[in-house]
Structure 1
Amino acid sequence: MFTLFKRVLIGQPLKSKDLGEQKLNKTKALAILSSDALSSVAYGPEQILLVLMALGAAAYWLSIPIAVGILVLLVALVLSYRQIIFAYPHGGGAYVVSKENLGVNSGLLAGGSLLVDYILTVAVSISAGTDAITSAFPSLHGYNVLIACLLVVLITILNLRGLTESASVLAYPVYLFVAILFLTIAVGLYKVLTGQISPELHTSFGTPIAGLSLFLLLRAFASGSSALTGVEAISNAIPNFKSPAPSNAAKTLAAMGILLAILFSGIVFLAYYYGISPKTEETVVSQIASATFGRGIMYYIIQGITAMILVLAANTGYSAFPLLAVNLAKDKYIARMFTVRGDRLGYSNGILFLATASILLIIMFKGQTEHLIPLYAVGVFIPFTLAQTGMLVKWLREKPAGWRVKLTINAIGAAISFLVMIIFFITKFPQVWPVLIFLPLIVLFFRSIHKHYEDVGDQLRISSCEPHKPIEGNVFVIPVAGITHVVENTLNYAKSLHPDQIIAVYVAFDKESEKGFEEKWSHWQPDVRLVTLYSQYRSIIQPLTKFVDTVEYKAKESNFQVTVLIPQFIPKKRWHNALHNQSSLLIRAFLLYRRDLIVTTVPYHFKK
């Protein structure tokens, strides 16, 4: 039943040789890897206005110069990451660049930041998409968290079905979103140029503002920089591109940068000219659409497509998180299960982990986008800064042809990224301080995992292990609960291996049952030694483990190996397991981690 349900949800398994067919062309890659960056224009400009709102509507003209500064940062990042794509064509982005050029700890810091950021990508995108839905339908405001969680489940299933399938679904909404925003901006500009929008709705450019400070300007700039999240995703996902992967990735990055710059500039300008002020119950894009087209069918189309792209923008996280996890897992810094491909050739363990963590975040923050965005943005600018700095070190060390130009580009990118990161910490410290705690903890966690894998390797390596003493004989201990076919099956198996000794152990809760069982056993299996243990506190585990300790101690003197054979019946239907006390599983759980003891389950399958 479960297998059938799984096949309906994610489709039939794909063969390993079909992996090449799961690569992306530039058109699909732009949709699947740029959806996060492009969709951020739906909330990036709003973040600028939320800060300027403290000074009043007269300060909204400042959004224009702030937007220009953000565009300069965008150009620097696109040029910088273009160089990373060609320098590191196998992907990995900031993690690989930082680890190779700045050291392991810097790489782990970048990798940890990005892993957290991709989780936040999903949480922020889904929450923002939910906001767009509830802006159009205010009666749904009370169900934000539930809607967001259901949307995470939906997009997770889409990704489990495979990369090309999710890209095919994503391409249409992404390009539709770009087209509808271009149309909105074009119609809005037309209305502005033809005088249909009253200039009295906004203050004049350069209007003096009381209470203006550098701190507030920097805070608005940092908040608006959240529109640049997702720029790095393409450099992390180069292996997903069709050949030649680096060239296709670079072209996709350039296309994304151009589209993002146009859409961001257009939304910021229209928001300023329309005199739009942020509202809790309605997004800025919703207000622009309403002012441009009215609350007619076109408005609901825009809101629907915006909600769709914001939800599907989470797919950037689903594309980049598993690939980054693979790089970390190959370097032994996270669990190796993240390197395993699922039935549809995607890294399904990474996808499922990402979905679970995102749902937990949405529930913790109650789906409130404005509380998630500061953590989201600062998590991006840490690896931005580390990646650009790593490239500086690389160019200074290698000095290839044209290295001075490359050095200059990365120096500008590193400086601006570092500046924005510091601004975030200074201006939004109450919201981003957890980063200073959980990122070092993540690095320590990575280190502890790496040490574990190194220790495992040392202990598995034959050349480095101490030689084991030869086994001179075997003793089998069999816990028995009665005289049954299950016990008989285990005894027959034990006898077939010809051990030196077989000991059946029965734990009795009263003296009468102890004596009665001994009599029955002597008639049924007279050639197998029976040891009965009386448990006055009705515990099976305690007396059994004490007896096993005694047998082990005596066996070591003769270099004998002790094996506990656990009889276990297997019901025909899985749900029948809930009707039994599963003593065999409990015994196994207690004995499994005991040193130098072998624990084996001997199953007996029921027929009905």
Structure 2
Amino acid sequence: MFRLLQTLFGKPLPRHQADEATLPSFEALAILSSDALSSVAYGTEATLGVLVLAGSGALKLSVPITLAIIALVAIVVLSYRQTIEAYPQGGGSYVVARENLGTIASLVAAASLLIDYVLTAAVSLMAGTQALSSLVPQLLPHEVSFSIVLLVLVGWANLRGVKDAGKLFAYPTYAFVLMVVVLALGGVFNLAFGHGFHAAAPLPVKALEPLGLFLILRAFSSGCSAMTGIEAISNGVKIFREPAAANARLTMVVMGVILSAMFFSVSALGYAYGVAPNPNITVMAQIGTRVFGENSALLWALQISTLLILALAANTSFADFPRLAALLANDHFLPRQMGWVGDRLVFQNGILILLLAAGLIIIICQGDTTVAVNLYALGVFTAFTLSQAGMVLHWWRLRGSAWLGRMLMNGLGAFTTLLVLLVIIVSKFNQGAWTVVVAVPIIVLLLASVRQRYRQVYGAMAIAPGQINVLEIPKRTETLGNRAIVWVPSITEPTINALRYAAAIADHVLAVWVKSDDEDSEQIEAAWQAVVGVNTGIEFRVMASPGASLVAPFVECVESEEEKYPDLFHTIIMPMAIPKQPFDGLLLNQRSINMRQALVDQHNRVFTVVRYYLTC
């Protein structure tokens, strides 16, 4: 089984190779911009799908609406360049809002993005399936199954690690960009020497609603789905090679230019050829048929590249959902295991949760993107607004070089994205946006309740201020030949109880703390001496983990001690807090469970759990 897992997901990577997993700008653009660039495939279609409600004559408004969205793209891109400069380690909406607007605003941003990432993954995969079914109508009854297969493949690629994913995703992303360029050039050639530079009349469609400001705003808000994924580069600055911030800022501009040019080309060609929405054939496929010819090789290349980038666009969610979940876990708003880094240096638990959530959305929507597209722009514009508002306060407090111009740029971004957010809420409330409006505060309450419970539990396990627990091994008249190895996850009452038990039964006690990357050995040693004391007869060892796992080093330490003293009995002692509330098991002891199983697998003979029963 272990060899099978290594074959599927790759060999474990040493933690020092995390820096080597960074990407050059060429690959980072592909992995972080796949969502934004792929939205070209359905952004125009989303706009036309609303305009057609007012009849075929209203479809001509798609071009001015596209230009308005492109202007908004430029504002957001320039605004996020400021964010990257201020937060070179990664400045997502959650981080910016947390540091500038407070806890509630940061949780609203986090909840909005968590919803958006799930919907983005589902919409991208369903849209990718529709791109293929436009060529192969026989696939229409199997769109849900095909979308699920694509979801599993993208999840597998991400579980192998970001470096492998970057190489895998670069080729399809740039293939799609190339095919849109070929489509645009072919369209201009056809318009110049065949069709002529005049707009063809679309097939007559009976108006179901009057053409008014409200419908135009609905069409605009639908087209704004083309802007999802823009924040990904700001979130993923660490993925870039050094100088990471400078490379990310340049890549942000390049992505904005490519997105705008592609989006305008598709909308302009759709207007020129009189393309109208068709439930069985995508707008992109209709344009490709007019430019390349029906069933031509270039049409197939266009649709296959569209399928691939839409499938891989879900990678933006697989890159950012686990990273955001890890940030929330580190702040105790989610269970700590969401912040664990797997052997392939990725947040594997977050990836698995996203797989399940996106699969559920695909099944509920039955492969139809209409409802999901109406929802998922709301979350990203909520995050846009909070992020830019937070940056305004950041520059106001800092007041460094050129602070006023930067503050005005972010202020413009906050104002425009807030207007779009209000338009989306009002115009799409009855089309399903109300579910997101309701879901966001519910998720915020859940996140806040997790942190509150963590505080209660940690408070119950904390050692009283000023209390020093001097643990001494009792002097024995004869040597029992028993050694105890105690796993120390933290210096709390459960750990002290485990050490007391070890001191009572063993001639020698070794306490082992395996530290994570964000922990400091000197601080751990100081905390140990302050609470446990000195000259206790207990050996305290702080170990660094060469890989991602904090379990493996402890298991290796046990093996080493048993080999060093083969004639002695070794008792492995582990503290464990026993929760009182039914759901506390999700918050506590997850690593302890993994540790115990790893030791069982190594056939250790004596294993003891010292239980500490919580009273809260």
Residue 397 of structure 2: aligned partner: 397
- Give the superposition deviation at 1:198: 7.5
Partner of 1:424: 424
SS at match of 2:389: helix
Q: Taking structure 1 as reference, are residues 202 and 450 closer, same or farther at Cα in structure 2, changes over 3 Å only?
A: same
User: In structure 2, what is the Cα distance between the partners aligned to 1:403 and 1:17?
Assistant: 37
Contact 1:181 1:263 (8 Å CA) reproduced: yes
- Is the Cα contact below 8 Å between 2:457 and 2:614 reproduced in 1? no
- Give the distance between the partners of 2:467 and 2:407, measured in 1 at CA: 52
TM-score, normalised to structure 2's length? 0.74
Correspondence for 1:281? 280
Q: Which residue of 2 aligns with 1:66?
A: 65
**1:119 counterpart SS class:** helix
Q: Are 1:318 and 2:357 matched, yes or no? A: no
Q: SS of the counterpart of 2:247?
A: helix
Give the aligned length.
481
Residue 370 of structure 1, CA deviation = 1.2
Q: TM-score, normalised by structure 1?
A: 0.75
Q: Quick one: which amino acid aligns to residue 426 of structure 1?
A: V
Q: Equivalences for 1:490-509 in 2 at 5 Å?
A: none
Deviation at 1:12, TM superposition (A): 1.1
Equivalent-residue separation in structure 1 for 2:439 and 2:209 (angstroms) = 39
Q: Shift in Å at residue 387 of structure 1? A: 0.7
**Which runs of 5 or more residues in structure 2 are unaligned?**
203-207, 472-503, 507-596, 602-609
Which of 458-467 and 270-279 deviates more? 458-467
Does the CA contact (< 8 Å) of 2:199 and 2:273 recur in 1? no
Q: 1:595 to 1:344 in 2, by over 3 A?
A: closer
Which one-letter code corresponds to 2:240 in the other structure?
A: F
Separation in structure 2 between the aligned mates of residue 317 and residue 210 of structure 1, nearest angstrom? 35
Q: Secondary structure at the match of 1:194?
A: helix
Give the conservation status (yes or no) of the 8 Å contact 1:92–1:327. no
Q: Tell me what 2:221 maps to.
A: 222
Summarize deviations over 1:315-359 as a string: whole Å, max 9, x none: 111111122122211111112112211111111111111111111
Larger deviation: 456-465 or 367-376? 456-465
Cα deviation, residue 196, structure 1: 2.6
Q: 1:210 to 1:340 in 2, by over 3 A?
A: closer
Aligned residue in 2 for 1:76 = 75
Work out whether residues 92 and 323 of structure 1, in 8 Å CA contact, stay in contact via their aligned partners in 2. Answer: no
8 Å CA contact retained: 1:92, 1:324: no
- Cα distance in structure 1, aligned partners of 2:363 and 2:127: 14
**Structure 1 unaligned residues grouped into runs of 5+:** 204-208, 471-495, 499-569, 575-590, 597-608
The 3-state SS of whatever aligns with 2:106 is helix
Q: Which residue of 2 aligns with 1:371?
A: 371
- The separation in 2 between residues aligned to 1:317 and 1:117, in whole angstroms, is 8
The C-alpha deviation readout for 1:351-398, integer Å capped at 9, x for no partner, is 111111111111111121111112111011001111111111222222
Summarize the Cα distance change of 1:465–1:288 in structure 2 as closer, same or farther, 3 Å threshold. Answer: farther
Query: What residue identity is the alignment partner of 1:88?
Result: Y
Residue 56 of structure 2 corresponds to 57
> Which one is further off, 370-379 or 391-400?
391-400
What residue number does 2:41 align with?
Answer: 42
Deviations 1:136-156 (A, max 9, x none): 111111111111111111111
Aligned-residue offset at 1:595: 6.9
Pair member with larger Rg: 1
Query: Is residue 392 of structure 2 the alignment partner of residue 406 of structure 1?
Result: no
Preserved CA contact (<8 Å) 2:132 2:304: yes
Deviations 1:98-149 (A, max 9, x none): 1111111000110111111111111111111011111111111111111111
Match of 1:303? 303
Preserved CA contact (<8 Å) 1:325 1:338? yes
Distance 1:45 1:81 in 2: 24
Question: CA offset at residue 4 of structure 1?
Answer: 2.4
For 1:385, the equivalent position in structure 2 comes to 385
The separation in 1 between residues aligned to 2:198 and 2:266, in whole angstroms, is: 17
| Secondary structure of 2:85's aligned partner | helix
What does 1:63-212 correspond to in 2, within 5 Å?
A: 63-197=62-196, 199=198, 201-202=200-201, 211-212=210-211
Identity among equivalent positions (%) equals 41
Decide whether aligned partners of structure 1 residues 593 and 398 sit closer, same or farther in structure 2, where only a CA change above 3 A counts.
closer
Tell me which amino acid in the other structure corresponds to 1:436. V
Alignment-derived partner of residue 6 in structure 1? 5
CA distance in 1, matches of 2:404, 2:374: 34
Q: Displacement of 1:37 after TM fit?
A: 0.1
Aligned to 1:293: 292
Offset at 1:467? 10
**How many Å apart are 1:497 and its aligned residue?**
7.5
Find the residue that maps to 1:433 and give its secondary structure. helix
Q: Which amino acid aligns with 2:368?
A: Q
Counterpart amino acid of residue 174 in structure 1: T
